[in-house]
Structure 1
Amino acid sequence: MILQVYNGNIHPDEWLRQFITFCFLEKITDDTDRFNLAKMMIDSIIHIPEGVTSLEDLISALKMEVSFSVFKNTNKRKLQVLKYKGENVGGDSSKFIETFRKLCRDAEINDLNEQKKYFSETLPYALKNKFLDKIDDIKSMDDIILVFNDLLIKQPISINIKNGSIIALKHVATGKYLSTIENLRYETGSGSQVVFLGGEELDRSSLWIIKFDKVFASTDTFINFQQRFGKFDKFLGMRYYYNYDDKYYYKSPSEHTEVSCNVMEKNDNDNDWRFDFSDLNNRGYLKPNDIITLSIKNEVLKDRYEYLRGHDYRVTIGGEIYYEVICHDKVIGTYDNWCIELIEEPS
């Protein structure tokens, strides 16, 4: 066993545990010898005040030193950005639990309510809601883990996305989710319900029900995206109007083809989307966390498809700023890539 130098990047209690283990293995039993060795293993950047004469005093001094405050806050920030990923998308539940517990220890987050709050924020939308339903039954850190494990056992692991699943579309270039809000409408163009790039954290406005006429979707499948919250009667698409016998698509505030959320039954909407994989070697069914492009047929120019794009053009609606989502027929680029996330399978 190699004895680690204390430099402020480990919790003093954990460093002491490793130090005591080293002394046991090396048969160092004298308290004075242990203390002198411990002082020698403190990095010179760490200030040890005069008058420290025991291991207990030394650990107390390390906890008062400024580097320990930085260490705790660093681990708290790591805890704030920690996100759970299941095994079906390359994650490891056991390692995730280990990381969470260590971060709580190193950040000295010992209050159970605080631990429950941090843990719930690590979970994807569907798991988070199920965890919060059981949060009043949680009386310890062990209960947090047991409830989480029980949810995973009941959680189906899908290889392919099924018809009727609840999904989210994350814009790869920005990390923001494709979103819509009931009755938030464009002040130009069609005046329809706005579709925009929302936040980097998933919320209700970012959830869609994916629909197609098969169990699984391939690149030749037409798919629809139904608004998950609200009246459930609106779908992602483009809207057009007639001028005499000609069709014209409404323009977005940036003068591109407007993307909106509208009632599907009306005959002035296009709602059938096709997808293609960004990885051209991928030719299977649509799976969770695939990177895709989405295109829709332009009914004015029959041989043309337009691609769903998020970009940094900001639109002000009702005094609030939103990032515009459009359709275009130009060269496909990084702003056209979307990651499809499976939130919940159909029951």
Structure 2
Amino acid sequence: MNRSDNPKYDGTIHPEEWVKQIQLRFYDKNNENIRNEQEFVNYCKLLIHPSIKILPETNSIIGLVNDLKTDISYNIFKKSIKRKLQFNYSISKNKHETLKFLNHFQQLLYEGEITEFGEQKKIFLNTLQKESIQHAFISHKFDKINSMEELFKYFYESFVEELKIIKNGSYIALKHVATGKYLTSDNDLVFAGSTIKDLNSVWIISEKQESTRYNQLGKFLTVFYGDLFDLKNKKNDLRLYVSNYGKSPATKHRQVSCKDESELWHCMSTNYENPPYVRNKDIINLQSNRIVLRSHEFTFNHFGETYQEVVGHKERIGGNDEWCIEIIELDNDSNKLNNYGYY
């Protein structure tokens, strides 16, 4: 063994890690015998910087490590580790990079002797970019997470969660929960149509630029509850609009139609357990300037056809105001609706 290759101890490495490195090099070249512990400790003392105090009577590995941890240099080292933990992890979908991040995080916790899980959990959350789905997902689950295993499990689940989120530019359908019919437009006419989706019931979410929230996904913008957006019908390019004066044909509530002008809507959650962002299959209320979108079993006739009415109102919110938001995938060539398993 070339002892000159052994690393000196100057307080910039965890004492236990340093001792392990010396132990590995203290085997003879045939890896058959290890030296006497006293001899090993005496040799280690020669590698320790003179400014770091070691008790003369220390003659064991445990005692040596304890001496190193008692020195002020160790407190400085732990503080430096805590500073290292104040970083923002650039979220990667590469499994290898994710594993490296998680392993590195655990190593820093060990070196900084951060053992209280509540503190570990807060540090982990702070390493995630605040506008990322990972941060929002972990934050939403925060109080339910009681171990490092659960924390890492939810972190991995957050990548599956990304598949469910509604984004700026998403194609969606809105199914009326009480009747199972989809919000549909035929030119300027809006109604609850069939229980089967078609192109007339596909809408495009377009967020108001001032309310968008950027995240690590770059070009994608996640829709959060309360974010403002308009809804443009895929078939006719007209936007969902609620009148301030016009009356609906059946119940004389506010008339809902499609127009070539913007009307800003936002989603309200119907379940307090929902995360702060809108997901596929969430049950929502849709509101524009305190006017709530509603459908019911009341119908009206238009050019000899019967339609289920859709209206806007300011009354008490109830079951007829619930809509299930669904992500729609369109074939780019044929404009046909695709169905995917996670939807």
**TM-score higher than 0.5 here?**
no
Shorter-normalised TM range: 0.3 to 0.5
TM-score by length of 1: 0.44
Give 1 or 2 for the bigger CA radius of gyration: 2
